[in-house]
Each structure stands twice: as C-alpha cells, then as structure tokens.
Structure 1
Amino acid sequence: MGGWSLIFLAIISGVYLQRNDSSVQPASDSEPPSEAQVYRPILQPSEAIPPIGTYVLENKDGKCYIKTTLGAEFIVIEKKRWYFSLDPSRVTATGYCGRSSAVLSLTLPDNSASLQFTFVKDKKVFYVSKLTVKLTTPVCKECANKNYSGVMDHEKLFKTANGQSFNCKSENLFLTSSQLWIKLVPLQMQAFSLSKGQYGKEVECWADFNKRVIPIVIGATVVGILLIALLTYLMVKDRRRQGYDRL
C-alpha cells in the first residue's frame, strides 16, 4: 500500500507541474511581430536641429572609402509640414565601394527610413549623382503607415576634387518628391580617396562662402560710401571758406 501511495503522489505532482508549465507558451516563429517590436519614425509638428552622426564605409581591404558627417531631417508634406530627424544611434551604414562608383546607405531599423548616396568618380573629381530618400510612418497615431519616397538622379551634387572633402555648414534642402523633402545640415563628405580615414582639405560650399564674403563686401561698400561722403563734405567746406575773388 505504501508503494502504491508513492506512485499515486508522483502522478499527481507530474500533472500539476505540466499544468503550471503550460501556462506560459513560447512565441511561435510564424506569429507576426507586435506593433511594439516594429520601429516606426514619429513625425513632429515643428522643425528641430537634427543630431549629427559620422558614418564610415570601408572596402574589402579595410581602407576607408566613404566618410560623411551630417545631420538629416525628413520633411513630409501632408496638408502641413511634418518633421523627422535621423537618429545616428539607430542608423546602420551599408553599401559598396568600386573604382569609379560607390554607394552609402543609411538605414533605420525595419527599413522605416533610409537615405542613400550614389557617388561617382570622374577623372579628378567626385560627386553625388543620385540621392534616394525613403520614409515609412503614420502621420497621426490613429493613421495607417504610409510610404514616402523620392529621388534626385543624374545630378552632380557636392562636387569636389579627389583627396579633398566637401564641407557645408549651411542648410542643404532638396525636393525629392512632391511630398518628401530632405534637409542636410551640416554636411561633410569624402569618397574614394581618404588618407588614414581622415578628411582631406576642406572645400567650402557656396552658401558658406556667400555668408562669409557678402558681409565683408557690404561692410567695405558702406565704408567706401562714407569715405566718399566725408571727402565730398570736406571739399565743399574748403571752397566755401575761400570765398570769391574780386574783379
């Protein structure tokens, strides 16, 4: 009887353990991810200064082939303007490097947003020939996800001599489609030829040049006008003192 009692208690304990274990079921691989697991950009109603990130792409030899430092802001047009800044901590930099062409893609998780530069090396210069922008996001909390995309192709953006870097602290705003703009500020980039992974001699963009030179030109012009006015006043005053000669 003692043996049968022990067997009976063991069976009851096993059933109890099985019931407890079945209360937590492992997630099935076939189940779709929940909304909390999917990253989606959140649009903002007002503009902000985008955070700055530095992104590097190396070739097979481990040599730095593309390097860019930038802040990027997506601008969505839906009755009004909505804004989203690229978060460098979430960006994955991918692409490829060739002798005369290269691609750098900056992508957010779940392909929710991406910014792609296509570089071309033409003799002694390099430039961005294609700029591709994509963004997947709802405009409001209750709205469904919407895909926005735009492209600028057959361009010669940020043209710079090989071995030098394009540098622009001013705002670069590009219309890629009727509903999607991209703003890059600041921006520094170099492709194909980087010495020890460092930027080469900086080439100033026209916007920065104008901001720096125009105030100097205006100031010099104002000073010149004031000097002319002062000299004219002194000459007229001197003539009045001399008076007229008698006949």
Structure 2
Amino acid sequence: MMRWRHTGGRSLFFLAAVIAGVHLQRNDRSVQPASQAQIYQPVLQPSEAVPPIGTYMLKNLVGKPCIKATVGAEFIVIEKKKTWYFNLDPSSVRTAGYCGREAAVLSLTLPDNAASLQFTFRKENNLFYVTNVTVHVSPRPVCQGCANKTYSGLLADQQLFAAAKGQSYYCKSENLLLTSPELRIKLVPLQMQAFTLPRGHYGEEVECWADFNHRVIPVIIGAIVTGVILIALLTSLFLKDRRREGYDRL
C-alpha cells in the first residue's frame, strides 16, 4: 500500500508540472514584446470619400456642456504634387480641451496622436467665433521607401464660424481651410456652438454665407429670367398693338 501511494504521489506531481508548463507556455505566447506593438497610422487614399459625421461635446469643471460640434472632417495632403485624402473616424476620436470664460479649446485626437483637429474659441461681448485651427496627421508613407512624415498646419488670429450668444453656426456647404502648403482640412457639414449651451442643445442656427448664396442665388436668377421673359412678352404685345393702330389709320 505504501508503494502504491508513493507512486501515485509522483504521478500527481508530474501531472501538475505538465499542466503548469502548458499554462506557462500559453501565457508566454499571449504576451507580445513591446517592440512588436503596433502604432496607429492613418492610411491616405488617392480619391475622396464622404467623411462620416460625428458629434463631439466638451463639459466644464462643473459638468455643464460648454462646446458642442457636429462635423465631418477630411484631411487633404499634398505630397509630391499628388493629392491624398483621409477622413476622421468619429468612433476612434478622443475628445479633450478646456472651457474658460472668454476662451475655450476643443481637441479631436486619434489614437497614438496619429491625427488631431483642434479649435480654439474666443468670446467677445455677445459673440463667439473660432480664432485658431490647428491640425496634424502622421500617416503611413504614401510610397515604398518613403520616410514617415507628419503634416501640420495652423490658422491663427481668425474670426471663423461666428455666431451670437446662445446661437449655433451651421453650414451644409464645404468649408475648406488652407492650413499649410501640404495640408488642408475640409469640414462638411459643420455645426458648432460654444460657451452657452442650455441643456447641451444647439440654439438657433446661423446660416453660413455659402448656404445663403446656394439658396438665394437660384431664386434671384429665376426671378431675373422670369422678368426678362415678361418684358419680352409685353414688348411683343406692345409692338403688335402699335402695328394694328397704324393699319387702322391707313
């Protein structure tokens, strides 16, 4: 009996060691070396696609919304006289920034800081607007053998997307911002509001000039064309009446 117990103990010890070894091997395979960790890099495309629309909100220290933006953003890169495109994916964006009384910042950033779009807001009296737009993207190289490169741009001391307190700037038309010779940013559509956001909802919309022109110019052209047609008809009728009067006199 003693011999059987000793043999059984050795067997159990061996079996436990094998199981532990298998467990350790699985753990070793599941751990990735730090050198193999993948870094997020946007992939530039040779043709445009409609950018997905995201809604981003930033709250102040007491939890009240102070910035809200709904936008589709497209990065346009100029490299070796060719144009490349990249759309900001709202599902991957991290929202950050800060809210002050007269200045606020909304920053939209992709993982590993691979791309970012930042708006700096300013408030003056009863008006808010965007004064700075900062943008950068660090994409995969566009060609074999090309080095990794970061494209950056800045628009400073501007008065963009202005609206009155409690109102929101709204534009369905494209807003193309030339931030540097190599990088542009297209915003379409765009709605934003800063500093005053009751219950986090947009206020009355302030229509951009591009939308106003697209809406009003066809009406004006139609009215002009209609007026010209009416003038031509009236002139024709008037001339016919004059001719008839001349024949009656004869």
User: 2:13 & 2:69 partners in 1: Cα distance?
Assistant: 67
Pick from 27, 31, 52 the counterpart of residue 27 of structure 1.
Answer: 31
Q: Does 1:52 align with 2:53?
A: yes
The separation in 1 between residues aligned to 2:233 and 2:117, in whole angstroms, is 57
How far off is 1:179 after superposition?
Answer: 0.9
Cα 1:14–1:119 change in 2 (3 A) is same
Letter in 2 for 1:99: R
Q: Judging by fraction of residues, say which structure has more helix.
A: 2
Give the counterpart of 1:239 among 227, 239, 242: 242
Tell me, in whole angstroms, the C-alpha distance in 2 between the residues paired with 1:16 and 1:235. 110
- Identify which range, 193-202 or 4-13, moves more after superposition: 4-13
1:123-146, Cα deviation, whole Å (9 max, x unpaired)? 110000000011011133744432
Deviation of residue 243 (structure 1)? 1.5
Q: How does 1:157-236 map to 2 (within 5 A)?
A: 157-236=160-239
TM-score by length of 2: 0.89
Root-mean-square deviation over aligned CA pairs: 2.1
- How many residue pairs are counted as aligned between the two chains? 243
Aligned AA for 2:113? Answer: N
Q: Matches of 2:91 and 2:22 in 1, distance apart? A: 41
Q: Percent same amino acid among aligned pairs?
A: 57
Counterpart code for 1:87: D
Pairwise CA distance, 1:9 = 4.8
SS in 2 for 1:68: strand
Alpha-carbon distance in 1 for matches of 2:203, 2:132: 23
Compute the displacement of 1:10 (Å).
Answer: 6.0
Q: CA deviation at 1:22?
A: 4.6
Relative to structure 1, the CA distance from residue 161 to residue 111 in structure 2 (aligned partners, 3 Å threshold; closer, same or farther) is same
* TM-aligned CA deviation for residue 211 of structure 1: 0.3
Whole-Å Cα distance in 2 between the matches of residues 186 and 56 of structure 1? 16
Provide the residue aligned with 1:154 in structure 2: 157
Flag structure 2 segments of 5+ consecutive residues without an equivalent.
none
- Give the corresponding residue for 2:129: 127
Aligned counterpart, 2:94: 92
Please give the alpha-carbon distance, in whole angstroms, between the structure 1 residues aligned to 2:63 and 2:9. Answer: 67
Question: TM-score normalized by structure 1?
Answer: 0.90
How far does residue 13 in structure 1 lie from its aligned partner after superposition?
4.9
2:108 maps to which residue?
106
